[in-house]
Amino acid sequence: MAKYGVVETKVSEQPRFLSWVIVGGIVIDTFSPSTGIINDVIKSLVFNPILFLGDAKWFPYPFLQKHFTKGLVMGSVKGY
């Protein structure tokens, strides 16, 4: 009976773990100084790219975007 509980927990938590990995990848890709879409817009406006994930002044913005995206993802998964 104990093995069933462990397997059940691992299977039920897998979508939550994968969604964190996916959201983390989206955040890194979005805010990357070299290839991120946000910095591409900033560069097209003739400004220097911003190191969002490495500068304490700018870090709250990707952090909040991550939590917003995570809430949307988990809200769309049935049963969570």
The Cα 42–Cα 11 span in angstroms is 42
Enter the pTM of the model.
0.58
More confident residue, 14 or 35: 35
The Cα 80–Cα 70 span in angstroms is 12
* DSSP letters for 25-45: HHHHHHH-TTT-HHHHHHHHT
Residue with structure tokens 């809430």?
71
Read off the pLDDT of residues 20-30 as tens digits, 9 standing for 90 and up.
777 788 888 88
Read off the pLDDT of residues 29-51 as tens digits, 9 standing for 90 and up.
888 888 899 999 999 999 999 88
Residue with structure tokens 């991120």?
36
